Amino acid sequence: MNRLKIYLAGPVRGIPDYRERFAVARYCYTRAGCAVLDPSLLPEGMEQADYMRICMAMIQSADYVLLLPGWEKSEGSRLEKAYADMTGVPVEEYEDGEEDGGE
């Protein structure tokens, strides 16, 4: 089975409930049968550069990047979007309540 792979991009630093925000999108797309690549599940305590290297590798494996609300205020999310654009990975913006798996 070849499932659609979605990378979630959104603000993390300075957002106390970021894990919950990512979890909502992860739930919706997992329920729709997608494989969700979620950076909010990475362990805490690493350097920003470490996270970005891991995230870029996840984007390389993704069928598309889903931008969570507030992404434009996040330096990391802007970098993820730019990387996806540069490497030809499609990018979409997530809308709260979206449950169709982006299809």
What 3-state DSSP class applies to 14? coil
pLDDT over 70 (residue 62): yes
Q: Residue 53 sits in which domain range?
A: 5-93
The enclosing domain of 60 has a CATH number of: 3.40.50.450
Integer-rounded Cα Rg, in Å, for the chain is 13
**Looking at the domain assignment, is residue 66 inside a domain?**
yes
2 pLDDT tier (thresholds 50, 70, 90): confident
**Looking at the domain assignment, is residue 99 inside a domain?**
no
pLDDT tens digits, one per residue of 24-46 = 999 999 999 999 999 999 999 99
**Looking at the domain assignment, is residue 42 inside a domain?**
yes
pLDDT tens digits, one per residue of 71-90 = 999 999 999 999 999 999 99
**In the chain, how many domains are there?**
1
pLDDT over 50 (residue 99): no
**Looking at the domain assignment, is residue 36 inside a domain?**
yes
**Across all residues in the chain, what is the average pLDDT?**
91
**Looking at the domain assignment, is residue 16 inside a domain?**
yes
**Looking at the domain assignment, is residue 85 inside a domain?**
yes
**Looking at the domain assignment, is residue 29 inside a domain?**
yes
pLDDT over 60 (residue 97): no
pLDDT of residue 103: 36
> Using CA atoms, how far apart are residues 56 and 85, in angstroms rounded to an integer?
12
Alpha-carbon separation of residue 25 from 46, 47, 72, 88, 92 (angstroms): 24, 25, 17, 22, 13
Angle between helices 48-61 and 75-87 (to 10 degrees): 30
pLDDT over 80 (residue 100): no
- Residue 56, number of CB atoms within 10 A of its CB: 15
Strands (E), the chain: 5-9, 35-37, 64-67, 91-93
What percent of the chain has pLDDT above 70?
91
**Looking at the domain assignment, is residue 48 inside a domain?**
yes
The answer to whether 62 and 5 are in contact (CB under 8 A) is yes
